[in-house]
Structure 1
């Protein structure tokens, strides 16, 4: 997300500049429960799924998210920089076909697709007849080795890290395979956890093989994690992963993903970023993505903990989602209120000045308890 004009706070620590475009290193989206904050993350998930997987036949429906009644088109526009190139990609589609699709790199049109006409790179013009109505041209072009499309495809496939921190996600121990295959990474994660006041001496990872189905000779690999803790009086003891707290699982997962990609430029998308974590741990994670981040890595996260608004961040890093009476969610920045300083933002938000609040009817709740 781009920086707000006139903001001078934490420019060195919290912003990145590339190709004369200034963006913030991290953005935090606040709002009430069921306001639509998570839809920002889901939008990236949806777009990435379409681009990375394409469609397998003309009978396959495209995944859409056209709100409530399912009518209308789904539209995306995204702009980013990779390897020094500025890309702008647009996609407009419904469940059955691509209506418009456009890719521009450094002001040069790579392809432009409408319902009536398609401008394609010369290297694949002869394959135009093979492009299905429900097939993204970006997927088709990268499959046929168009360099610009391949670079864009790689960004979606490899550089976007969508981290779910829910219990249903973190119960999958296969997420921690990098710790099993990379001993150096495991040592770094253990050091990180020790610094964060988690008294974990070691993470023991065992690979087991189980039948995919009963009476089946084919085996499937499974990872089983155990945590070895130091005990001052009685040596060590171990705890199975399933018995470990959700906060430990979350910090283990986040530290692994951060350290595994520390020297690369990635886009982290995290829903409920502050969920289950102590405020001091949240503050350290903020410093990792802002002050201590010397790459082009960015973070977009949803959050509830307003203590984040007391951290050293800028007003153009703070966003809100509010839902209308008709159920339509709107995303906007506190910078839209001409706020140039973060001071006072927390109180203003808690006082309802920016909307995006949880409106609770105390009387109605009390009434139902008295019935």
Structure 2
């Protein structure tokens, strides 16, 4: 389960920003909206959280930061020697930040053990890396590394808690690779749970990794999961009686282009293609529709159905940028309430999402105050992340009206639109 995420000097997130899933001491909806952890530092973790902010405020960058951290963990061990990190973007609107490292840190709980892992990096190399493990209330530093400024070599420190071939892992870790990633590649059982959380328990959807039908299609091929998805879809369209996947042979064209020779080659092969069929039943008749015939909302709900059912079943963490795209507010509420139901979500599943749908703020019993976050763009174009709890809202406060009136900030700056319209 995700406890906390820290980020510094990534895109518009110039200064250190801290996002937390730790529940406050408020007892309201605690039994349904949070998990008990039995840990003194974080007695309860929230099952869901929502982030609001104007367009270009930086809320998408928060999700991209977690996604980028995941990518470095997953891919750095396979980078060729000397290869840099091309997609790393520090804050560029002041010269001092542009030359500073970007810093990531995540705290998670796995099987009752708290892991606090982070690293800093430039586009050329990993600058520092550290893992603290809390098997008791006191942390154990399993490893730490930093680059020596004079020699440009990595200096390592290991704690007794990390077992295995540490010297081998250290020797194999290049400047552009994470020690965590390389050690797991070389069969570190102790570090495998942390790596696997990034690899298999953190699921992120945004413009870089958009929702696609493939996950849900594979689930539709299995009878038990097909029935579950059909029930899920009926929440949006009660006329949907069944969904099937029909395979047909189709000619698939592939175009390859050799940059060295400039040669373009096109091939065509017959392959099996999956087609999704929606069976609708009404009192006046029946019909079967292709996926393309359905509304964008129905398609998006299908694309979400598989991942959400998988996330809840396996206790994963789901992160979605702009969940409200093509989905009705009441349907979004239904999705979030699934995570809050103890009879459905009993394995530690969490969801974090951004949205512009302010109606969710006043939806009865949907959110506790500590589940609501805001991102605001400052005058210097850096982003500031902060929780609603900073404003100490009353329990009966009209949150949507307060937000739209500017009480909590994080609104678009519209004052100059009138000037633009006069030209």
Normalized against structure 2, the TM-score is what?
0.80
Closer, same or farther: CA 49–348 of 1 in aligned 2, 3 Å: same
Question: What corresponds to 1:61 in structure 2?
Answer: 84
1:88 aligns with 2:116: yes
Query: Which of residues 236, 242, 260 is equivalent to 1:202?
Result: 242
Question: What corresponds to 2:156 in structure 1?
Answer: 118
Matches within 5 A, 1:94-109: 94-106=122-134, 107-109=139-141
SS of the equivalent of 2:230 reads helix
Structure-1 separation of matches of 2:82 and 2:314:
38
Determine if contact 1:320/1:333 at 8 Å carries over to the other structure.
Answer: yes
Query: Which of residues 126, 131, 134 is equivalent to 2:176?
Result: 134
Structure 1 position 237, deviation (Å): 3.2
Cα deviation, 1:47-100, whole Å, max 9, x if unaligned, reads 111001114212321242312365321101110111222101011011111111
1:249 aligns with 2:277: no
1:147 aligns with 2:192: no
Structure 1 position 369, deviation (Å): 4.1
Structure 1 position 24, deviation (Å): 1.2
Cα deviation, 1:304-353, whole Å, max 9, x if unaligned, reads 11111113121110100000111101100011223363633322212111
Determine if contact 2:107/2:116 at 8 Å carries over to the other structure.
Answer: yes
Closer, same or farther: CA 175–71 of 1 in aligned 2, 3 Å: farther
Determine if contact 1:315/1:335 at 8 Å carries over to the other structure.
Answer: yes
Matched residues, number: 366
Determine if contact 1:173/1:225 at 8 Å carries over to the other structure.
Answer: no
RMSD: 2.4
Gapped regions of structure 1 (runs ≥ 5)? none
Determine if contact 1:193/1:199 at 8 Å carries over to the other structure.
Answer: no
Determine if contact 1:167/1:246 at 8 Å carries over to the other structure.
Answer: no
Task: Tell me which moved more, 266-275 or 216-225.
Answer: 216-225
Closer, same or farther: CA 226–295 of 1 in aligned 2, 3 Å: same
Determine if contact 1:314/1:341 at 8 Å carries over to the other structure.
Answer: no
Question: What corresponds to 1:306 in structure 2?
Answer: 358
SS of the equivalent of 1:263 reads helix
Structure 1 position 25, deviation (Å): 1.0
Structure-2 separation of matches of 1:15 and 1:68:
38
Question: What corresponds to 1:23 in structure 2?
Answer: 45
More helix by share: 1
1:72 aligns with 2:100: yes
Closer, same or farther: CA 167–233 of 1 in aligned 2, 3 Å: farther
Question: What corresponds to 2:339 in structure 1?
Answer: 289
Question: What corresponds to 1:179 in structure 2?
Answer: 219
1:338 aligns with 2:392: yes
Structure 1 position 137, deviation (Å): 0.6
Structure-2 separation of matches of 1:211 and 1:300:
38
Closer, same or farther: CA 131–237 of 1 in aligned 2, 3 Å: closer
Determine if contact 1:9/1:341 at 8 Å carries over to the other structure.
Answer: no
Normalized against structure 1, the TM-score is what?
0.90
SS of the equivalent of 1:147 reads coil
Determine if contact 1:25/1:289 at 8 Å carries over to the other structure.
Answer: yes
Determine if contact 1:185/1:260 at 8 Å carries over to the other structure.
Answer: no
Structure 1 position 215, deviation (Å): 6.0
Closer, same or farther: CA 48–216 of 1 in aligned 2, 3 Å: same
Determine if contact 1:7/1:341 at 8 Å carries over to the other structure.
Answer: no
Structure-1 separation of matches of 2:273 and 2:210:
15
SS of the equivalent of 2:27 reads coil
Question: What corresponds to 1:267 in structure 2?
Answer: 317
Structure 1 position 203, deviation (Å): 2.2
1:319 aligns with 2:319: no
